[in-house]
Amino acid sequence: MPMRPAEQQWLLLEAAADATLVVGRDGLINRANRRTAEILGWQPAELIGQSVEVLVPPASRTAHSSFRKAFVASPRPRMMGAGLELTAIHRDGHEVPVEISLNPLVTEEGEFVVVAVRDISYRLHIVSQLNETAAKLAVVDERDRIARDLHDNIIQRLFAAGLHLQASLGRPDQDPQLVGVIDEIDEAITQIRTIIFTMHSLRGMDAGFEPAVRLVLAESSRVLGHHPSLIQHGVLALVPDSLASEATDVIRELLTNVAKHARATHSSVNISVEDNWLTVTVSDNGVGPDRETTPAGLGLGNLSQRANGYGGRFSFDAGEAGGSMAVWAVPLA
């Protein structure tokens, strides 16, 4: 026996990828396909005979009833609430972000409205991620602009001022004062360069922990006179982003300390992720600390505070084969 047209139409609705309802002119649900259970948590049999407003958030039910009656009076295929953020009520009470299309349906049983409900949760999640990425890129671009301005304008002007002052050296009554000013300018240039390196390193963090560390090593080689080696143990991807950023700053500071005090021709950075701990070890073959040298005396006291803040530890000692060895270790969680 051939199927009646109404049965054929229903088979098509049952095969739809969206949650699909057939609603009468009175607003009561006449049919619901199996996707309704998957998307909204309602078994089809539970919805039959109920008002379609059961799927509408309580605050919108009165307005929805009026809109529904207006649609029944002049039915035509259209999207519901175009441009608005719509939600449907899941059976457990939470709201599901949806798109809804309305289509009039005339059968031998009467006039109905086919309501297709599409879950757009994943799409909104992707849009949110894209917006977040765009915001991060905007911040990174702004940092790059500031870094360029510092390098191209401020540092060059400081260099020019320093050269001008150096050219003025020669008068015995001015030399001590001018030398002090020149030293201050050199220190300011060093600090600005550090800021620039930090800004570029923040861009590197977007690519991951290891690329950010390699960027710091490349930048530090300019003041060290050599390129530090990098040794890795474990999976660096296990390190949370915030901790990876902190560790990158620690590596930068330790290498800066090597450049200032060690007079080393070789240095290495060892990063280990083992037993739920992150350990950063920076070693060099320089002069090494004397017995009275303390981390605070080398400007490294804040590294102990940083480690303590994570429940970790920091040590600075002579290396086993000479030079110095700094160890910064913190738990991953």
User: Do 184 and 261 have their domain in common?
Assistant: no
User: Do 311 and 231 have their domain in common?
Assistant: yes
Q: Is the pLDDT of residue 1 over 50?
A: no
User: Do 111 and 187 have their domain in common?
Assistant: no
- Structural domains of the chain, count: 3
Domain range for 324: 210-333
Q: Which of 194 and 243 is assigned the larger pLDDT?
A: 243
Stated pTM of the model: 0.48
Q: Could you tell me the CATH number of the domain that includes residue 79?
A: 3.30.450.20
User: Do 312 and 245 have their domain in common?
Assistant: yes
Last residue in a domain, options 190, 206, 222: 206
pLDDT > 70 in the chain, percent: 78
Strand ranges (E), the chain: 19-24, 29-32, 78-79, 86-89, 95-107, 110-119, 229-233, 267-274, 277-284, 313-318, 324-331
User: Do 192 and 238 have their domain in common?
Assistant: no
Residues forming beta bridges with residue 225, ordered by sequence position = none
User: Do 69 and 132 have their domain in common?
Assistant: no
User: Do 60 and 103 have their domain in common?
Assistant: yes
Q: Is the pLDDT of residue 140 over 80?
A: no
pLDDT one-digit tens code per residue, 199-245: 655 555 555 889 889 988 988 888 899 999 999 999 998 999 889 98
User: Do 227 and 308 have their domain in common?
Assistant: yes
Last residue in a domain, options 189, 206, 223: 206
User: Do 20 and 100 have their domain in common?
Assistant: yes
pLDDT one-digit tens code per residue, 34-48: 999 999 999 999 999
User: Do 317 and 218 have their domain in common?
Assistant: yes
* Residue 312, phi then psi, degrees to nearest 5: -115, -155
Evaluate whether 233 touches 273 at the Cβ level (below 8 Å): yes
Residue 297, pLDDT score:
52
Question: pLDDT class for 155, splitting at 50, 70, 90?
Answer: low
Last residue in a domain, options 94, 119, 144: 119
Q: Could you tell me the CATH number of the domain that includes residue 308?
A: 3.30.565.10
